[in-house]
């Protein structure tokens, strides 16, 4: 019932996961898509497919500027395919054009997490060029400072923490039920 109502009100809009590396955009996004019976897409995977290279290879061979350009173009294209759940890379929402495109075609969901949670998760893998430095924690702290005020523009903010992903999905679904960007005009006076 809830799911059908959320989907009806969303129409062609995408649910777009934003937030820092390690906040759970892909793992929560995939489960949210399954819950809502919608396709799930990961923008980083689509960038890799389009470039026929991994993200570390793109950074190494062409530099971050070129990666950001590809990221902006791929997300603009993917946003035409809603409804869907779309996980973006951590830097994508920082681009004003991408933010505007998301605002026009989607609902942005920020998974906010504290530094220790993020560090614990990202240190398990070795696939993030920005963190291949002597002090990845200092980089992450800098990114939090620079990005959190911008991520805060998202429609929904959910605390990502060490609980099962399904708990986070439950919270997002509950928020979607009552959020003004999802709620139809006919319901506005009633909630």
Minimum Å gap between C-beta 188 and ligand S3P is 34
Ranked by CB distance to ligand S3P, the top (closest) residue is 89
User: Whose Cβ is closer to ligand S3P: residue 20's or residue 156's?
Assistant: 20
Cα 65 to Cα 148: distance, rounded to the nearest angstrom: 21
Cα 189 to Cα 47: distance, rounded to the nearest angstrom: 42
Residue of 11, 32, 14 whose CA lies nearest to 185: 11
Q: Which two tokens stand for residue 20?
A: 């820092």
User: Whose Cβ is closer to ligand S3P: residue 10's or residue 15's?
Assistant: 15
User: Whose Cβ is closer to ligand S3P: residue 3's or residue 130's?
Assistant: 130
Cα 98 to Cα 135: distance, rounded to the nearest angstrom: 29
Q: Which chain residues interact with ligand S3P by CB under 6 A?
A: 21, 25, 44, 55, 89-91, 128-130
User: Whose Cβ is closer to ligand S3P: residue 21's or residue 156's?
Assistant: 21
Q: Do residues 136 and 38 lie in contact, with contact meaning Cβ atoms separated by under 8 Å?
A: no
Minimum Å gap between C-beta 57 and ligand S3P is 11
Q: Is 142 left (phi over 0), alpha (psi -120 to 50) or beta?
A: alpha
Q: Do residues 86 and 107 lie in contact, with contact meaning Cβ atoms separated by under 8 Å?
A: no
What is the enclosing helix (H) or strand (E) of 67? helix 64-78
Minimum Å gap between C-beta 171 and ligand S3P is 20
**Which residue is listed with tokens 């990666």?**
67
Minimum Å gap between C-beta 44 and ligand S3P is 5
User: Whose Cβ is closer to ligand S3P: residue 129's or residue 136's?
Assistant: 129
Minimum Å gap between C-beta 177 and ligand S3P is 27
């Amino acid at each position: 019932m809830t799911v059908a109502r959320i989907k009806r009100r969303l129409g062609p809009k995408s649910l777009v996961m934003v937030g820092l590396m390690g906040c759970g955009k892909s793992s929560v996004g995939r489960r949210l898509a399954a819950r809502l019976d919608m396709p799930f897409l990961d923008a980083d995977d689509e960038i890799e497919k389009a470039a026929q290279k991994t993200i570390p290879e793109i950074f190494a061979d062409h530099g971050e500027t070129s990666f950001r350009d590809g990221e902006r173009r791929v997300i603009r294209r993917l946003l035409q395919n809603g409804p869907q759940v779309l996980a973006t890379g951590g830097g994508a929402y920082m681009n004003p054009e991408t933010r505007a495109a998301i605002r026009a075609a989607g609902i942005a969901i920020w998974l906010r997490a504290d530094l220790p949670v993020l560090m614990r998760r990202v240190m398990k893998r070795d696939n993030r060029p920005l963190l291949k430095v002597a002090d990845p924690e200092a980089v992450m702290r800098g990114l939090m400072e620079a990005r959190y005020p911008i991520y805060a523009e998202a429609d929904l903010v959910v605390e990502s923490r060490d609980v099962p992903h399904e708990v986070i999905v439950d919270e997002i679904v509950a928020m979607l039920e009552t959020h003004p960007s999802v709620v139809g005009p006919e319901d506005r006076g009633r909630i």
